[in-house]
Amino acid sequence: MPDSLVIRLNVLDELVSDAVVSRDEEALAEALDEMADLVVRHGVPLPPGK
């Protein structure tokens, strides 16, 4: 993944953490959805056993 996407995933990870701490289910769902979308659109599957 390009560095820019890794940076965005790290930002989203912080948002997930903040949402969990504050018990904000809507913010949690939004951040997780965006994370999953980025990985699905830009990630590359690893070979089996990796």
50 pLDDT band (50/70/90 cuts)? confident
pLDDT tens track for 14-42: 999 999 999 999 999 999 999 999 999 99
Structural domain boundaries in the chain: 3-42
Which string of DSSP letters, residue by residue, matches 1-50? --HHHHHHHHHHHHHHHHHHHHT-HHHHHHHHHHHHHHHHHH--PPPTT-
CA distance 47 to 44: 9
Q: Tokens 């990870």, residue? A: 13
Predicted TM-score (pTM) of this structure: 0.82
2 pLDDT band (50/70/90 cuts)? confident
Judge whether residue 49 has pLDDT over 90.
no
Nearest to 19 by CA among 28, 7, 32, 9: 28
Instruction: Answer for the pair 1, 46: CB distance below 8 angstroms, yes or no.
Output: no
Judge whether residue 8 has pLDDT over 90.
yes
